[in-house]
Structures are given as structure tokens and as C-alpha cells.
Amino acid sequence: MSGFIKVVGLGPGNGALITPQVQAALDLATDIVGYIPYVARVTPRDGLVLHASDNRVELDRAHNALEMARAGKKVVIVSSGDPGVFAMASALFEALEAMPSYQDMAIEILPGITAMLAASAALGAPLGHDFCAINLSDNLKPFALIEKRLRLAAQADFAMAFYNPRSASRPEGFTRVLDILREECSPHQLIMFARNVSRPDQTLLTVNLQEARGEMADMRTLVLLGNSQTRRVGPFVYTPRFSTDGA
Ligand code: SAH
């Protein structure tokens, strides 16, 4: 029996946003591997083994998945959103780099709808022009690098999507992020807080930078900063496709 690994994205939470390709992989799996709340989103069935683990053990998880696949299991590693966006696909390749004898394994990455795209759609079209995505967690990089990227992206007038904005272990980090953005951007620039996007308890909040507060975000929030042209239209927020500023 030949095993495989598929690293799949479960989307932002709503079952309707799981792609048919990902659902087919889940239906075929013998083993599901992932962070506890993501594994909990997979419907149990006979013959399916669930391996749920804590979120700080990505490399161990990837290693175990490779061993199970080599033993003939059909392993599906689940991430929320898209597996390539601040998630398990890179962790798997990091493990693979250190395990050359596994590099002929049947591995596939199946995309999912990442949080910034679901949040953007819920709000209107705030990412309608050039944008970038920044992970605000300083677990895997120093805050000085986050600060540099924020300042340069703001100077280039990118709209920005912020993942992992604020956690219990670093409640003040996001307040510093807002202070940096206020130094670089107009106080009237729009900032959006999209929490639990696509779930029954979804909330959306749009304010301008001068009104934004650290407490408006938590780990279930995707934050979007508009560019200098981003504006409201009726209940929506959008960024025009043209840019008038050559800066
Ligand atoms: N791979 C995931 C991101 C993992 S990082 C993806 O592609 O979406 C986890 C961060 O994603 C959270 O802290 C939050 O900022 C964001 N996020 C994930 N799901 C979300 C949702 N349903 N609503 C709002 N933000 C979400």
C-alpha cells in the first residue's frame, strides 16, 4: 500500500468554504494530523485516526506525518485557511529538508481560502489594489523585523493584512504596531477588524487609524489596513484599482 501526505486548507471556518478537492482528500484519509481545533473540524468516521496536537509542535507533527506516510498511511495534515499561509506546508518542507530519504514521498499541497480573502470579501474589496500580508507574531522572528516591514509597506502605500495580531502572551505588541502605523500613515486611513470570519459569530468593525485600539483585535481577528485611497461606499469598504499617487 502506498502512502501519501496531503497538506490541506480547511478555509476560515464555514464548511461551505472547504473546496471539493480538500473534501475529497479528507474522505480518502486514514490519518488526520494537526492543531487541536483544526482536527476538531474534521467529521469523525470509522477507520479514520485523528492525531491532534498543540500548536507549538509543528516540526514534530510534520516528522510524524512523514513516518506514517512511509508506513503506508494516507495522511492529511490540516491547517485553517490556506496551508501555505503562516501554516503547516512550510513546516512540512522544513522537516523534509532535514530528512533527505523521505524526499521521494508523494506530497501534495491543496489550497484553501485564507483568512484575509474571506475577511476582504465580507467587508467589500479592501484588497482591490496592491497589498501585502504580515504575520504579527514574534514567535519566529524579532519584533525589529516586523517594525521594518510595517514602516516600508506603509511608506509604499500598500494595503496590509495582519495575521496573529494579538495573543494573551503578547497583549502589548499590537498597540506598538498601531503606534508605528500612526507614525507612517494618515490618521484617517481605514483599519478593519474582522473576527471569526465566515462563522455564525462573525463581527466586522471599521474605524480610522486614530480611533483604533489594541483591544479591538485578538487571535481570532484578521486586521486589514486600507491604503491612502481606501474608502467606504454604503456599508462596504473598497480600494480603487487605480492609484493617483506616484510615490
Ligand atoms: N493558515 C491560516 C492562518 C493561520 S495564522 C489562513 O490561511 O487563514 C492564524 C491567524 O489567522 C489568526 O490569528 C487570525 O489572524 C487569522 N484567522 C484565521 N481564521 C480566521 C477567521 N475565521 N476570522 C478571522 N481571522 C482568522
Which CATH number is 146's domain given?
A: 3.30.950.10
Q: Which residue has the higher pLDDT, 243 or 149?
A: 149
What CATH number does residue 104 fall under? 3.40.1010.10
Do 130 and 187 sit in the same domain of this protein?
yes
Indicate whether 94 belongs to any domain. Answer: yes
pLDDT digits (tens, 9 = 90+) for 141-184: 899 999 999 999 999 999 999 999 997 777 888 999 999 999 99
What's the chain's average pLDDT?
Answer: 95
Do 219 and 121 sit in the same domain of this protein?
yes
Do 93 and 133 sit in the same domain of this protein?
no
pLDDT-derived band of residue 247, with 50, 70 and 90 as boundaries?
A: low
Indicate whether 246 belongs to any domain. Answer: no
Indicate whether 67 belongs to any domain. Answer: yes
Q: Quote the ligand 1 centre to 217 CA distance (angstroms).
A: 12
Do 86 and 151 sit in the same domain of this protein?
no
C-beta atoms surrounding 43 within 10 Å: 8
Do 92 and 175 sit in the same domain of this protein?
no
Q: Is 120 in the pocket of ligand 1 (CB under 6 A)?
A: no
Q: Quote the ligand 1 centre to 47 CA distance (angstroms).
A: 30
Indicate whether 61 belongs to any domain. Answer: yes
Look-up of cell digits 523534509: 96
* Domain finish residue from 113, 143, 162: 113
- Cα distances from 127 to residues 6, 32, 181, in angstroms, run 29, 33, 18
Atom of ligand 1 nearest to the CA of 202: 23
Q: Quote the ligand 1 centre to 144 CA distance (angstroms).
A: 23
pLDDT digits (tens, 9 = 90+) for 76-134: 999 999 999 999 999 999 999 999 999 999 999 999 999 999 999 999 999 999 999 99
Collapsing DSSP to helix, strand or coil, 208 comes out as strand
Closest by Cα among 188, 181, 179, 194 to 228 = 188
Indicate whether 243 belongs to any domain. Answer: no
Given this model, what pLDDT does residue 58 score? 87
The domain containing residue 78 runs over which residues? 4-113
Collapsing DSSP to helix, strand or coil, 156 comes out as coil
CB of 83 within 8 A of CB of 39? no
The residues that bridge with 6 in the sheet, in sequence order, are 76, 108
Residues in the chain: 247
Do 86 and 144 sit in the same domain of this protein?
no
CB of 188 within 8 A of CB of 210? yes
Q: Dihedral of the CA atoms 120, 123, 129, 131 (nearest 10)?
A: -40
Total domains in the fold of the chain: 2
Indicate whether 182 belongs to any domain. Answer: yes
pLDDT-derived band of residue 245, with 50, 70 and 90 as boundaries?
A: low
- Ligand 1 test: best mutation among 221, 223, 224, 225, most atoms within 8 Å of CB? 221
Given this model, what pLDDT does residue 246 score? 53
Reading the block at residue 245, the C-alpha cell is 499617487
Do 86 and 135 sit in the same domain of this protein?
no
The residues that bridge with 9 in the sheet, in sequence order, are 79
Q: Is 88 in the pocket of ligand 1 (CB under 6 A)?
A: no
Q: Which residue has the higher pLDDT, 192 or 247?
A: 192
Given this model, what pLDDT does residue 232 score? 98
Reading the block at residue 91, the C-alpha cell is 513546516
Given this model, what pLDDT does residue 168 score? 75
Given this model, what pLDDT does residue 169 score? 78
Rg (CA), the chain: 20
Q: Is 196 in the pocket of ligand 1 (CB under 6 A)?
A: yes
Do 228 and 205 sit in the same domain of this protein?
yes
In this structure, the strands spanning 124-125 and 190-195 are: unpaired
Atom of ligand 1 nearest to the CA of 219: 13
CB of 184 within 8 A of CB of 154? yes
CB neighbour list of residue 88: distance below 8 Å, 6 or more residues apart: 7, 34, 58, 61, 62, 77, 78, 79
Do 124 and 187 sit in the same domain of this protein?
yes
Cα separation, 192 vs 225, whole angstroms: 6
Do 234 and 120 sit in the same domain of this protein?
yes
- Cα distances from 224 to residues 215, 217, 221, in angstroms, run 15, 11, 10
Lowest mean pLDDT among 17-31, 33-47, 163-177, 199-213: 163-177
Reading the block at residue 240, the C-alpha cell is 480603487
* Domain finish residue from 70, 89, 113: 113
Q: Is 34 in the pocket of ligand 1 (CB under 6 A)?
A: no
